[in-house]
Amino acid sequence: MPTIKAISNLKLLLPVVFLPLLALFLSACSLIPQANKNQPLTLKFWGLWESSTTMNTVIADYKKLKPNVTIVYEKKSPQQYRESLESQIQSAKGPDVFYFHNTWTPMLKEELSPVPSSVISASDFTKNYYPTARADLINPAKKLVGIPMAIDGLALYYNQDILESAGVTTPPQTWQELAQVAAKVTVRDTAGNIKTAGVAMGTAANINHFSDILGMMILQNGGDPKSPQDKAASDALEYYANFAKGVNRVWDETMPSSTVAFAGGNLAMYFGPSWRAIEIKNANPLLKFKVVAPPQLDPLNPVGWASYWAVGVSAKSQSQAAALDFMKFLTQESTLIKLYTEAAKSPGRIFGEPYPLVSLGSKLSADPILGAYIESAPSMRSFPMASFTWDNGLNDQIIKAYEDAVNAVAGGTPATTALGTTAKNVQTILNRYTAPAAR
């Protein structure tokens, strides 16, 4: 045990030893690079739909606010985008800020950085965005990892001339009404072949958004597309398949793709996202059509379908604070309005992306095309069977599982039997992409 004298001597030595060490530590600290908010830095930004001309208009606005930050925007091809995004981020060569589909959150659990409250608080996110965003963009760790750049999904397009010529003055609002209108407007030749189809439903191969339609129907019926073994899911599949069955069918496998058929004037009713309207108008500028919210099983408790793109920040970014600040700028009202306005000026475009913010809904609610999606937005729900994400992952593989079910029912297999196989396949796919990554 130290003596009182030894302890006293130790106290005298402490300043002698400690002060030189402190000086050395402070000297070393001066050699560590300090964060400088005015230090020049470059952020890589990957997008999919907006041209460099459009996106650079808002990047220039951000440059005025943050002169030291350079944003390099790249418009990527959607083909193999998801795989490239993951591999590039994992190798520390990817973007700092990037677009991703709302259904990709489980697949990008290693790549997406949580969004801090300094960008948006949980309460503001819930208040400012439609309910589907809250469900879609929370990762397995219960962290917000993205902010919507648009809201989109499914709406019902109808050919005005076809419906009016058949005496139909009001588009269908329920599935029963849709079936009745489809039967009334379908035209066949003397051999019984369909010349003008009532509605593009019942098959998989030639209906561009069949999986979205079927997914929405299952949800409306109270089923679970993740585990479609209940009566609600099988009833929805049987109802869907019946549109292309028997002598009274209103669609079949001999028809061209649903988008081509509608643009060509040979289809009365068609389901699609908002961007299909641009494609259809460019293909046939003289076609008279309108777009309304999708039909419902219970109009008092509507269920819509969500398929949209969000913006996220890379978990591997070396400039996360700057990347998050740019994300905050991108998703504010004024930026979204400018992006919409500039996109609408692009060759071949007639409008921009439908606004994801609830506060901006009134700006589009009366729009003859986008108004239908804004009307449906509060009731939208999603599941990874969204068409045209080109992800070669959750969506494309689950869509294939449901395509097999549709084809099996078309061939006479009971829906319950077909969906038993689908349920097993879907669970295997979900486990593959949502299980914790190997370490």
Mean pLDDT for 351-368 is 96
Look up residue 284 and give its two tokens.
């046939």
- Lowest mean pLDDT across 15-29, 34-48, 336-350: 15-29
Say whether pTM exceeds 0.85: yes
Asked whether residue 35 carries a pLDDT value surpassing 80, the answer given is no
- Lowest mean pLDDT across 23-37, 377-391, 416-430: 23-37
CA distances from 40 to 55, 89, 315, 319, 322 (A): 21, 22, 21, 11, 11
- Kindly report, residue by residue over 85-103, the tens digit of the pLDDT: 999 999 989 999 999 999 9
pLDDT band at 13 (very low <50, low <70, confident <90, very high): very low
DSSP secondary structure code for residue 357 in this structure: B
The strands making up 289-292's β-sheet, listed across from edge to edge, are: 187-188, 194-199, 267-272, 155-159, 289-292
**Averaged pLDDT score across all residues of the chain:** 91
Domain segments of the chain as ranges: 41-152+307-366, 155-305+393-434
Asked whether residue 32 carries a pLDDT value surpassing 70, the answer given is no
DSSP secondary structure code for residue 153 in this structure: B
HSE (side-chain half, CA atoms, 13 Å) at 335: 18
Mean pLDDT for 57-70 is 96
DSSP secondary structure code for residue 359 in this structure: G
Q: What are the helix (H) ranges across 129-209?
A: 131-136, 160-165, 175-185
CATH code for the domain defined by 155-305+393-434: 3.40.190.10
CATH class of the structural domain 41-152+307-366 = alpha beta
Mean pLDDT for 357-373 is 97
**pLDDT at residue 36, rounded to an integer:** 53
In 112-228, where do the E strands start and end? 147-148, 155-159, 187-188, 194-199
41-152+307-366 and 155-305+393-434: identical CATH topology: yes
Q: What percent of the chain has pLDDT above 70? A: 90
Mean pLDDT for 207-219 is 98
- Kindly report, residue by residue over 77-88, the tens digit of the pLDDT: 999 999 999 999
